[in-house]
Amino acid sequence: MSSSESSSQTHSDAGRRARRRSNSLLLVLAIGFLVFGAATGALYYALRPYSLKIAVGPPGSDDYKVIQAMADVFGSESRTVRLSPIKTEGAVESLALLGAGKADLAIGRADLEMPAEAQTVAVLRKNFVVLWAPAGPASKNSKTKRAPRIKEVADLTARHVGIIGRTPANAALLRVILSASGAEADKVAVTHFGTDQIEELARDPSLDAFMAVGPLDSRITSDAVAATARTRGEPKFLAVETSEAIALKHPRYESEEIPPGVFDPAWPDDKVETVSVSHLIVARKSLSETTVAAFFRQLFTVRQAIARHVPGAAHIIKPDLEKDTELPVHRGAAAVIDGNERTFLDRYGDYFWFGLLLLSGIGSAVAWLRRYLNRDEREDNTSHRKRILAMVSSARTAESNQELVALQREADAIIRETLECYDDGAVEEEELAAFGLVLELLSSAIAERRAALQRVSFETVRGAVAGQGVTPRG
């Protein structure tokens, strides 16, 4: 191979190598962007705020006000959970949306029919049953109080009861109480009054007793007791003495006591046994443990902030895990209450190790692909070694120093190209070591041949001088 051909071939190889280096760089950048995008997406998925739809109604009710305040506070103070209230006509519709999968959470009363996969997250409030009968107005000529005609729940047989609130659940609860107390529930007439019809309820002379279901600090219950006292005389609060039996038979209800003096003016005189039914925040069982745990933790973190907007939020409490209820507590809420919530590594450990394996596989694939794309460079390196071995033979038979210089220049070009390939990663260290061995062999051959040519030249000059009769100086 002539010097010009070798130079042309070297330039051609350099251009090809530059193009491959550019393609390899683009490939590495593409894979880097792919890995970065996947990691960013996974991080966003793990840290994104949970957006939950919660069904509640009717608009304007205490439940709706609490949930709306909760959504506002979550939006301003929480980075992990967002709430989107869905307006409904009441708890029945809210639970239906939950059962249909159109809501993640819902507000429902514990004694309503629950969807099959509904589970408790938190108690929004406890509603106490308050039953009372009027004693009748005192006679103008008598200062003594009239004894009430109805003294206990059993006396309500064949009587007429006015119920505050239009939900059929209140009437169903009254029937449970009547049956457990020995009254004939079928012979008790009921009339429902809206929460805005308190005065009508108080003035209705056909009513023998009254019933309200709500929190003990409910303004509606307190106003109803006061209104009936003004028109019908001092109230006689009826104790549900079978409350414990009712709670045992119907786990959706709880045995409670109305403390003395809770209503204005300081009624009742003594504690009164009754039952309560809770309004619950329920979630679908399929909703992930992590999501429910985040909602539960955030709820009780900002509960006081919610109560500053709506006082009713102060009634929100954690569910009791030890009570035997019909509706189980969601595993996400139970994990936070018990302190058994899974850590980040517990939740994502498997994904973490899978990611490491995936990255390892990607690294191996990239290495293979890089080696595959650089196969021509490796072949060139092999041909360069063969060329240098051929140059060793040429060096040993070279007739002049000019031939040796040409061989050295060609070797320099090959060395330069090989080192560039090594810098690009196309040549491995093992291959570079093998290249170094043949290069040392060439260097030795050139050095030996140059020394031999110098000796021949010296002998030639010495012989010429001797022929002319000149003794060279030693």
pLDDT surpassing 80 at residue 37: no
pLDDT tens digit string along 95-122? Answer: 999 999 999 999 999 999 999 999 999 9
Query: Residue 353 pLDDT > 80, yes or no?
Result: no
DSSP 124-178: EEEEEEEEEEE--PPPTT--SPPPPS--SGGGGTT-EEEEES--HHHHHHHHHHH
* CB 34 within 8 Å of CB 369: no
pLDDT digits (tens, 9 = 90+) for 363-421: 777 767 666 666 666 676 777 778 888 888 888 888 888 888 888 888 888 888 777 77
Query: Quick check: 110 and 116 in contact, CB under 8 A?
Result: no
How much is the pLDDT for 17?
Answer: 58
The pLDDT confidence band at residue 133, using thresholds 50, 70 and 90, is very high
All structural domains of the chain, each given as residue ranges with its CATH number in brackets, are 3-37+374-467 (no CATH), 123-282 (3.40.190.10)
397 burial type by CB count under 10 A (0-12 exposed, 13-18 middle, 19+ buried): exposed
Q: Report the run of H or E that residue 209 belongs to, with start and end.
A: strand 209-214
Q: Each residue of 317-340: pLDDT tens digit? A: 999 888 777 799 999 999 999 988
pLDDT in tens, 253-305: 999 999 999 998 889 999 999 999 999 999 999 999 989 999 999 999 999 99
Count of CB atoms within 10 A of residue 381's CB? 23
* DSSP string of 226-293, one letter each residue: HHHHHHH-SEEEPP-TTHHHHHHH-TTEEEEEEPTT-BTTTB-SS-EEEEEEEEEEEEETTS-HHHHH
Q: What is the pLDDT of residue 474?
A: 45
Which residue pairs, CB below 8 angstroms and at least 24 apart, start in 245-250? 245/180, 246/176, 246/177, 246/180, 246/275, 247/275, 249/180, 250/111, 250/176
Q: What percent of the chain has pLDDT over 70?
A: 80
Residues 6+ away with beta carbon under 8 Å from 64: 56, 57, 58, 85, 87
Give tens-digit pLDDT for 63-86: 999 999 999 999 887 678 999 999
For 455-463, what is the mean pLDDT? 74
* pLDDT of 347 strictly over 70: no
- Over residues 171-220, the pLDDT tens digits come to 999 999 999 999 999 999 999 999 999 999 999 999 999 999 999 999 99
More confident residue, 346 or 438: 438
- pLDDT in the model for residue 402: 87
State residue 303's pLDDT score.
Answer: 94
Q: What is the pLDDT of residue 77?
A: 77
DSSP bridge pairs for 56:
87
Residue 466: predicted pLDDT: 72
Query: Where is pLDDT greater, at 433 or 467?
Result: 433
